[in-house]
């Protein structure tokens, strides 16, 4: 799904994506291989844990950092 379309749907309250469906490439809107806080903001749970998983403290999440964050977010999304 196109990230801009997803943002519009989220902002209108039509879609609450399951964390399992979140893909790095969909969040990395500019395709630079990094997720910024602004890009992460489309997923409130990701925004909440962003700083904790930014291991190198460069203000972005690379794909490895992102994958680790999903391990924490996913159980919470499933009610765990």
Residue 72 pLDDT: 79
Q: How many domains is the chain built from? A: 1
pLDDT exceeds 80 at position 17: no
Residue 51 pLDDT: 94
Helix H or strand E encompassing 46: helix 44-53
Helix H or strand E encompassing 40: helix 37-40
Q: What is the pLDDT of residues 23-75, one digit of tens each?
A: 899 899 999 999 999 999 988 888 989 999 999 999 999 999 999 988 877 65
Boundaries of domain holding 35: 3-77
pLDDT exceeds 80 at position 80: no
> For tokens 């749907």, what's the residue?
9
Residue 3 pLDDT: 58
| CATH number (domain holding residue 21) | 1.10.238
């Amino acid at each position: 799904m196109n990230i801009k379309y997803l943002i519009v749907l989220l902002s209108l309250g039509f879609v609450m994506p399951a964390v399992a469906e979140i893909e790095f490439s969909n969040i990395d809107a500019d395709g630079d291989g990094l997720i910024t806080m602004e890009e992460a903001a489309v997923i409130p749970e990701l925004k909440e844990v962003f700083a904790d998983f930014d291991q190198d403290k460069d203000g972005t999440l690379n794909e490895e950092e992102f994958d680790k964050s999903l391990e924490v977010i996913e159980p919470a999304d499933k009610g765990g």
